[in-house]
Amino acid sequence: MAYWLYKSEPNVWSWEQQKAKGDVGEEWTGVRNYLARNNMRAMKIGDKGFFYHSNEGLEIVGIVEVCALSHPDSSAKGDPKWDCVDIRAVIDMPKPITLKDVKANPKFEKMALVTSMRLSVQPVTDEEYFEICRLGGLDNPPQSPPQSPA
């Protein structure tokens, strides 16, 4: 399975704004980091991810899913090297998980949120995903579809 974490400054694009987009979802535009872009290029329809409020709040507030595969980023003004995916809100995190919570838990010491803090689109391991969901009060969290062999 594949899980991700998407960082957004809530004053730029908030969880409430993401939820308001409904099933149509929204392009995850403006990513100008090659590793983050490559992460989006690897995503599949239905992959789940955490929506993380960065700069303000510093917490995982919800779960999203990929609803459109990697395509040219409409905010890149025709520059073909930048792609994005579309994501839609799936569920609120009943108890938001703060960065402080993550850093205090030894189970997350290798998590990209701790080791690659500036990366805006990050991979999340299955174990990290399910542990954060458990800590956040999601007993039966939405799951990404199984990954087919490459």
Quick check: 126 pLDDT over 70? Answer: yes
Q: What percent of the chain has pLDDT over 70?
A: 99
Does domain 3-136 sit in CATH 3.10.590.10?
yes
pTM: 0.95
* 73-87 average pLDDT score: 96
Identify the residue with better confidence: 9 or 148: 9
Chain-wide mean pLDDT for the chain? 96
pLDDT for 33-43, tens place per residue?
Answer: 999 999 999 99
d(CA 51, CA 145): 18
Backbone angles phi, psi at 142, to 5 degrees: -65, 145
The answer to whether residue 79 scores a pLDDT higher than 70 is: yes
d(CA 5, CA 30) in angstroms, rounded, equals: 15
Handedness of CA 87, 92, 96, 97 (dihedral sign): negative
Q: Phi-psi category of 25—alpha, beta or left, where left has phi over 0 and alpha has psi -120 to 50?
A: left
* Residue (of 67, 83, 69, 61) closest to 13 by Cα position: 61
In the block, residue with structure tokens 């899980």: 3
What are the pLDDT digits (tens) for 81-113?
A: 999 999 999 999 999 999 999 999 999 999 999
DSSP secondary structure code for residue 111 in this structure: -
Average pLDDT (106-123) is: 95
At 93, the amino acid letter reads M
Give CA separation, 123 vs 11, 95, 114, in Å: 24, 21, 12
